[in-house]
Amino acid sequence: MSETKQQRIKTNGIWLNIAEQGTGPLVLLLHGFPETWFSWRHQITHLASQGYHVVAPDLRGYGGSDSPISPSSYTCMHIVGDLIGLLDHYSEHQAFVVGTDWGAIAGWHMSLFRPDRVKGLVAFNVPYFPRSANAKPIESIRLMFGEGSYVLQFQEPGRAERAFARYDYLTVMKKFLLIKKTNNLVAPPGMEIIDYLETPSILPPWITEEELQVYADTFLESGFTGPLNYYRAMDLNWEYLAPWQGSKITVPTKFIVGDKDIGFETNGTQEYVEGDVFRGLVPNLEVVILDGHHFIHEEKAQDVSNEILSFLRKLSVD
C-alpha cells in the first residue's frame, strides 16, 4: 500500500479524508459499516494497476473525515453532496461508483439524484429497494424483527456506543468484520447486539490480526457515533426521498452479493434480487452471486476485483 496516498479534501462544507492511487478514469470506492477506506486496500492497488484513478474516502463520520454531531447531518442528501464535491474537486464530470453496505446505499442515491455524474455503479450486498409510500423504515423494521434488531438498537443516541465500550476496539472489529451469521441480526430479549455477536478465536485466512488492528486504531480515534448516525437518519431519508417515489435507477449497474450474506436467504433478499421487481427498478442490471459473507470485498478480494474490473472495461468499450 506504499503507493496509496492520503489527503483531506474540502467538500460540501466538511473535510473528507481520502486514499487514492493511480491515474485514468475516476473510480470512487465507498465503504460500509463499520469500515474505512482501508477495506478497499486490495481493490485500490488492483484497479490502479489497470489504469484507473482510484479514490476511496472515509465517508463523513468515519476515520480521518469530519464527524458532525447531529444525526440529521447524515442523510442521503449530505452523503451524495460529499461525493459530488469530490468529483468537482478532481474536475471530473463522471465517475464509476463502487459501494458496499452503506456505501452501496450512497451509490444508489447518487445514481438516483445525479445519474449524469455516474458512469456506472457496482453495488454490494444492499439492493435498491422501492420506497414505501406510507411506512417509515424504523417502524417497518420494528414490526418485522422486533426491538432486538440491531437497527432498532442503534437508534437511541449513546446506547450502542455504551454497549460497544464494554469491549476493546479490536474485539468490536472482530465481532463485526468476521461475522458469519446468515440470519437477520436480532438479539434475544434483554441483550445488546454487540453481546450477541461472537468473537472468533481463529481468524479466517483473508484477514490478519494486524489488518484488524488498523481498523481498531482508527475507531479508537474517531469513535462510533458518526457511523451509527447513518442508522439514526433512516427515517429522515425516507422523508427526503418522497419526490423520487417510484423512480428507477437508469445508470448501468452490477449488483454483487455473497450467498451467505446476512439475511440473504432468510428474509427474501435472494428472491428479490433474482426477481422482476428489482430488475424493473434497475433496468440496466447485472446480478452476480458469489460464495461468501457480508464483507465479501475483503473475503474474496481477487474475485471481487475481477468483477469490478470486467464491469468498468465493458462500460469503457461501450
Just list the catalytic residues: 101, 231, 294
Edge to edge, what strands does the sheet with 26-30 contain? 5-11, 14-21, 53-57, 26-30, 95-100, 118-124, 253-258, 285-290
Identity of the residue numbered 174: K
Q: Which of 60, 56, 53 is nearest to 76 (CA)?
A: 60
Separation between Cα atoms, residue 190 and residue 19, nearest integer Å: 40
Describe the crossing of helices 209-222 and 169-177 by its angle, rounded to 10 degrees: 120
Asked if 117 and 86 count as a contact pair (C-beta separation under 8 A), the reply is no
Beta bridge partners of 57: 18
Angle between helical axes of 76-89 and 102-113 (0-180°, round to 10): 70
